[in-house]
Structure 1
C-alpha cells in the first residue's frame, strides 16, 4: 500500500479549566512518517479505545503533560515490518498515542504498567501484555471495536474478574455497578448467562430502562436516587452474594452493608472519582512497589475505605482489587468463551463508536458530557 508522507497525532494542548474537558484542549500536529528499524513494525491504527481516566491524566500534576499524546489501547494493522513476529497484514492489539500510525516492537515493554509474567510473554511472543497478534478467526468474526472492547481489557476484566470471584452459581444475587459502562455491561451479562439474579446500577431512568430491556437485567437502580440505601435493601431482601464494582463511593458503601457472609467482590475501578466535579491527579505507580503494596493501594483507590475493610473482616468477604493482565496467560480461553456466548446470543458487545480520526476530541469530550453506552472508541480508518 502507498503510505502518506506524514502521520497525524492529537496532543494535549491547553489545560482544563475547572476540571472541564472540551475539544479546545487538543491540537492536531503532523510529523514525518516514521520508518521501522530492525525489530520494529509500522502499524496503521484502525480503532483507538478511549478510557475515562484521561481526565485524571490531564489534571494538574497528572501523567499527561502539555504537548503530549495520551497512550491508550488500540487495534491496528501491520503495514510494514522488520519483525518476523509482526507480519504485514496482521491485526494486532497494542499501545499507542492518539495517532493514525505508530511504530511497534515486540521487544518493547508496556507503557505505564509492570512487566508481564513469563507465561504471558510466551503466549504473546512479546515483552508487553498489551502487544499481541489477534487470531485470524477473531478478526473475521468481530469488528475492530469489539476486539479492543469485548476482547480487550474491558471485556477481559469482566470475564476474569467474574471468574475469579466466582464461581457464579444459578440463583446467586449479583449487584453490578456501572452497567451502561464498558466493563459493567459485560460483567452483568456474564452473571445473567450464569443464571444469577442481577441488579444493575446506572445514572438516570433512561439508562436503567436500557439496562433491563437491552441487557436483560432483573432490575436496575438509579444511583442518584435520594433513597439509594432503601432501594438497595428492597432489591436484595436476602443480601448480595457477588458485587461487580467499578465505581466506589455511595453505591459501594450501600452494597457493602447488604453483602452476605462469605460474599465476593470484584473491585476494578473508581468512576465515582473520575466523573466528580473536580478531579485530582493520581500518584504514579512506583516500579519498585511489591504486588502486595500495589494491590493494597488499588483497594483504597477503588473505594475500599477503612470502614469497608472492617465489613470485609466481619463478613469474611473475598475482595479482589483487579489487575487484569495477571490472567492474560489464559487469554485464548477467555476469547473462546466470550465468542461462544456471543454466538449463542447470551452476550451482546456494547459499543459507542465515533467515526473518523478528526473526531477524537469530540469523542473524549462526550465521555464527560453526553450519554454513551459500553466501550467508547474512535474508528480511524
Structure 2
C-alpha cells in the first residue's frame, strides 16, 4: 500500500484574477492510517469544474489547501467500509491528489445534504459518492463514466425530462452547446426529433457544433447581431430554451421564447468565465445565480413560460434509470460523448489554468491513471 500521496495546493494568490500554473504547488503528505468505515482510493480521473477559479478567488478554496469539491473517478485499493470493496470503481469528491481516503459516512463538500432516497441508493451520506455498477465500468471508460453518467449527462437528461417533454414539433435553443451539458442536451433534443439550434463563439466553433452534434444550425453569439440571428433561426419562436450561460445572452434569448414555452436553467458560465469573478457576497438564490434576473422573471410571468432551475442531485435517486437510457443511446451511436482529456497528474495546474484561457469542447478532465 502507498504511504504518501501527491497533492496540488492553491499556493499563491491570483494577480488581477488571472489564474496560471504558478498559483499551484506540489506537495507530498503521508496517507493517514485507515480507520473503520474508511476506504483508500486511487484517483483515476478528475473533472475540472468551471467554478474552480471562482472558488479560489472567493476563499472557498483557501491558500495552502486543495480544492476538495472535485468530482472524480477512483478505484478502491483498500477498504474497512462495507459500502466500498477493493476493486470497486467509484465516483467521489476528491482533492487535486492521486490518493484519498473516503467514507460512506462523509457528507458532501460545497453542496446541500443528499436526499434520503439518494442516500439509500448510494449507501453513502453524499450524493456524489457511490459505486458504479460493474456492467457500467465494463462498457465505458472513466472519462465517459464521469461525463455522460456524471453531473453533465444527468443534468441534460433530467433537465429535458423535467422541463419537457420534448416533442418533434418543438423548436429548441441550446445555449452553451460546446460545453459538457449543452453538447449532451443538444443531442438528446435531436434524438427527440426536435429542430435544434445551438450557440457557438465564432464560425469555427459553430461548424464544430453542427458537424459533431448533428443538429440543425448554430448561432454565432460573438457576431454582434444575436437578435437578428435568433429571429432568422426561430421564425416561429422558441419552444424550449436550455441555458447554462446566464447574463446578457439569457435576457436576449428569453424575448424569443413563445407563450407557454419552457426554460431550463442549470448554470452561470457567463459569470464563471468573466474576466473578473464575482466578489464574495451574500449567496443569491439559485435562480438569480443562474441568470434568471428580474427582467427575465417578468417575461416568464407575462408569457406563462414554465421554468426549472435546480442542481442535478435533486434527481440522483433516479440515476440508474438515466444511466440505462443514456447507455442505450450511446450504444446505438445516436449519442456521442464529448470529452477533453488532459493526460497526467503533473499537468493538472496547466489544465485548470487553460480552462479560462483556451477554447474547448465538452467536459475538461485530467486523467491521473491510465488503467
Find the counterpart in structure 1 of residue 67 from structure 2.
Answer: 70
C-alpha deviation, 1:269, in angstroms:
0.6
CA contact (8 A) 1:56 1:282 kept: no
Find the counterpart in structure 2 of residue 314 from structure 1.
Answer: 302
Find the counterpart in structure 1 of residue 244 from structure 2.
Answer: 246
1:373 aligns with one of 361, 367, 370: 361
Q: Return the alpha-carbon distance in structure 1 between the equivalents of residues 102 and 307 of structure 2.
A: 36
Find the counterpart in structure 2 of residue 155 from structure 1.
Answer: 153
Pairing 1:364–2:361 present: no
Give the match's secondary structure for 2:355.
helix
C-alpha deviation, 1:282, in angstroms:
4.8
C-alpha deviation, 1:113, in angstroms:
1.1
1:325 aligns with one of 313, 316, 326: 313
Q: Deviations over 1:198-218 (max 9, x none)?
A: 000111111110000010111
Q: What is the aligned-residue RMSD (CA, Å)?
A: 1.1
- Flag structure 1 segments of 5+ consecutive residues without an equivalent: 286-293
Find the counterpart in structure 1 of residue 2 from structure 2.
Answer: 4
Find the counterpart in structure 2 of residue 230 from structure 1.
Answer: 228
C-alpha deviation, 1:280, in angstroms:
2.2
CA contact (8 A) 1:261 1:315 kept: yes
- Flag structure 2 segments of 5+ consecutive residues without an equivalent: none
Find the counterpart in structure 2 of residue 277 from structure 1.
Answer: 275
Give the match's secondary structure for 2:86.
coil
Q: Return the alpha-carbon distance in structure 2 between the equivalents of residues 281 and 44 of structure 1.
A: 35
Q: Return the alpha-carbon distance in structure 2 between the equivalents of residues 284 and 77 of structure 1.
A: 38
In 2 relative to 1, CA 149–281 (structure 1 residues): closer, same or farther, beyond 3 Å?
farther
Q: Return the alpha-carbon distance in structure 2 between the equivalents of residues 74 and 282 of structure 1.
A: 27
Q: Return the alpha-carbon distance in structure 2 between the equivalents of residues 13 and 94 of structure 1.
A: 24
Q: Return the alpha-carbon distance in structure 1 between the equivalents of residues 138 and 115 of structure 2.
A: 29
Between the two proteins, the alignment pairs up a number of residues equal to: 368
1:204 aligns with one of 192, 202, 205: 202
Find the counterpart in structure 2 of residue 54 from structure 1.
Answer: 52
